[in-house]
Homo-oligomer: A and B are copies of this chain.
Amino acid sequence: MKGEIITIGNELISGRVLDLNAWYAAGRLTASGLKVTRVTTVGDDPEKLSSAIRDAVEQSQFVIITGGLGATEDDITNEIAAKTLNRPLCLDREMLEQIKEYVQLRGMRMSASLEKMARMPQEAKPLNPKGNVCGFSLVENKVRLYFLPGVPDQMRYLLDEFVLPEILTHCKTLPVLRHRLLKLYGLSEPKIAEVLKKLPEKPDKIILGFYPHFPENHVTISLRGEDESTVIKELDKMEKEIRELLGSYIFATGTQSMEAVVGELLRRKGLSISVAESCTGGLIGNLLTDVPGSSDYFLGGAVVYSNTAKVELLDVSPATIEAHGAVSDQTVREMSGGVRVKFGSAIGVGVTGIAGPEGGTSEKPVGTVHVGLATEKEIFSRKYRFWGTRKQVKLNTAMMALDWVRRYLNGNPFLPGV
């Protein structure tokens, strides 16, 4: 089945905002075996929008339209769609009730501009009748049109939960397209490509994709075929061969995050953790607590930005800081050990470093980072050197600390330092 995407917004047409909606929708539709033939972006401009809808209806079997469904005066999609398709705008009672409920729950007042959101072209159906995200579908000359909000989270939710499943029920024989996504940390993209040259010859139809996703690197394995079980078998074989070459650099598959992998390991082993953060400023704790249920194993952390805080909160010895500096193996060892004792956790992790852009010296340049990990029996520490902006150094440091926990719990060696 062939389809088109129309994205709407002055912020897109003027280059102020990158059009992630078109990219996301195109990727999801393609991955489902559907073919996207055109993406058209127009501003909040009645004439251009109208002609884009008319064109798409003439040439496609489905059309995804995002943006302009909101309550403000620049939201014109409902009105223009109705005009273009020669349908009256009708008030959808169900949608109106939904908006009212949403508004009431948040202690807001109903208004004419909010009511506008419930006016849709005749015979349009709300996509998500029980939810509180607006969006609707309608059929014109056998072409299925889906109108979604421009807010990326809402667009993605409706596309994945309602639009894709509905389009797919109207496809008779769809080729099977399956992907694997492997997430790696600690190997650069050229290095990964070099290692994978050692792969045994792969079937022509298997496509490997390489996507840097700072500070991770993602490798995709894609295969299209007639028969699902054959496709899965070939993907399994290829994944196994890649795993043999890349080993413990692969930390997750699919949508799993590093912090979820670490959380799962801690939970499985019944271990608790606490963190001592200097240059990351709280990022490690923030990542760990992004995982639902993390309070089962994450006891807390100390963000010790100043030297006084390191001494006061974690019992780091002033003599250690004096002799070796706050950014040193010795300090990070005392931070990791100190936070472990303070919180009474099985594992204590510590990081200290220079995130930049200021604060570097020739001996300890920006990006110098020390990571430590303490258990009841031993303390490990190592020095790393990262490159990039302040936020990139922080993120790489946090990922390295989490990777240490993963490798420690899996019995893998830590990544080599400098």
Contact = CB atoms under 8 A, between A and B. Distances in A.
Interface of A: 10-20, 22-31, 36-43, 45, 48, 52, 55, 70-74, 103, 106-108, 111, 113-114, 151, 153, 179, 188-191, 193-194, 207-212, 214, 220, 222, 275, 277, 279-286, 288-290, 292-295, 298-306, 308-309, 312-313, 342-344, 355-359, 387, 390-391, 394, 418
B24 A356 contact: no
Given A23-B15, A28-B15, A38 B41 contact: yes
A190 B277 contact: no
A14 B36 contact: yes
Contact of A285 (B188, B282, B359, B418): B282
A303 B302 contact: yes
5 contacts: A13-B38, A16-B27, A19-B19, A37-B43, A113-B193
Contacts of A312: 342-343
A292 B357 contact: yes
A255 to B, nearest CB: 11
Given A37-B43, A300-B313, 4 more contacts: A18-B20, A40-B40, A72-B190, A283-B289
Copies of this chain, complex-wide, total 2
- For A16, A72, A303, the residue with the greatest tally of chain B CB atoms inside 10 Å of its CB is A303
Contact of A71 (B12, B23, B193, B308): B193
Contacts of A72: 189-190, 193, 208, 210
Nearest to A388: B153
Contacts of A387: 106
A342 B313 contact: yes
A251 B153 CA distance: 24
Top 9 nearest A-B pairs by Cβ distance?
A15-B27, A281-B289, A282-B285, A282-B282, A15-B26, A301-B303, A39-B41, A300-B309, A282-B286
Contacts of A391: 290
Given A39-B13, A286-B281, A306 B300 contact: yes
A179 B288 CA distance: 39
A306 to B, nearest CB: 5
Contacts of A212: 70, 151
A289 B312 CA distance: 20
A141 to B, nearest CB: 19
Contacts of A40: 38-41
Contact of A282 (B277, B295, B357): B277
A24 B14 CA distance: 9
Given A286-B280, A290-B391, A299-B305, A37 B26 contact: no
A397 to B, nearest CB: 11
Contacts of A294: 281, 305
A2 to B, nearest CB: 10
Contacts of A394: 286, 289-290
Given A282-B286, A342-B312, A344-B308, A15 B38 contact: no
Nearest to A47: B37
B23 A36 contact: no
Contacts of A288: 281
A357 B295 CA distance: 12
Contacts of A357: 292
A155 B74 CA distance: 32
A189 to B, nearest CB: 6
A242 to B, nearest CB: 14
Contacts of A41: 22, 38-41
A207 B286 contact: no
